[in-house]
Amino acid sequence: GESVGLHLPTLSVQEGDNSIINCAYSNSASDYFIWYKQESGKGPQFIIDIRSNMDKRQGQRVTVLLNKTVKHLSLQIAATQPGDSAVYFCAENGFGNEKLTFGTGTRLTIIP
Amino acid sequence: DAGVTQSPTHLIKTRGQHVTLRCSPISGHKSVSWYQQVLGQGPQFIFQYYEKEERGRGNFPDRFSARQFPNYSSELNVNALLLGDSALYLCASSLLAGGEAFFGQGTRLTVV
């Protein structure tokens, strides 16, 4: 069956350093990938997305990389700030599939 | 602009009772999806509605039902509550079915 998993459940990074959060997916039909940030007591917040016809997409301080060969997705956050501390989820959506399938999440902690 | 709003924010119910959760999408958004997020896990897809029609259903029992109204707001109903139904229930809206999803802050349901 389809699943989206994460390599590391927790990640601690020094403030100002860059962080990389990884995600593996198993559904080769996945067409659309999204990274969400979830702070305590809040709903997931959209960070950045990428479609399967792209390998890389950049936003403000964030970059998403997609490697379809090995079914791997990563989120890079540059110059991390205390406000980046949260749980990060990757999610995927297959073509014609109405639902988002989420991974279990990685808790990112920024150390002052 | 108002984001996705959900009510109530917190709710405590007894086993066997029924609950109704409500969601108002972002203005102009026609698609509403419901997700269940158990503590420590990623959100799990329950339903999606688009233009008042059910477009997708996750692997949840028939005790779970939903509907979308002409103004695109939505209700999630859960009958015969079980302890295992305790979770954060998230509503997400998007302009189109399968488009970028924006989440509300969720309703925290506790079944005792």
What are the tens digits of pLDDT across the range B27-74?
A: 999 999 999 999 888 999 999 999 999 998 999 999 999 999 999 999
Q: Domain B5-111: what homologous superfamily?
A: Immunoglobulins (2.60.40.10)
Task: Round to whole Å and give the CA distance between A105 and A102.
Answer: 8
**What is the SS3 assignment for A77?**
strand
Task: Round to whole Å and give the CA distance between B56 and B15.
Answer: 27
pLDDT at A96: 57
> Residue with structure tokens 């984001």?
B3
- Percent of chain B whose pLDDT exceeds 90: 85
How far apart are the CA of B26 and the nearest CA of chain A, in angstroms?
Answer: 14
pLDDT at B101: 87
- Chain A contacts of B102, Cβ < 8 Å? 46
Ranges of each domain in chain A: 4-111
Reported as a single tens digit per residue, the pLDDT across A71-93 is: 999 999 999 999 999 999 999 98
Minimal Cα distance from A10: which residue of B?
B40
Interface residue A25 vs chain B (CB under 8 A): no
Ranges of each domain in chain B: 5-111
Measure CB to CB from residue B42 to each of A32, A42, A104 and give the nearest one: A104
CATH code that applies to domain A4-111? 2.60.40.10
Average pLDDT over residues A17-36: 91
pLDDT at A6 over 50: no
pLDDT classification of B1: cutoffs 50, 70, 90 = low
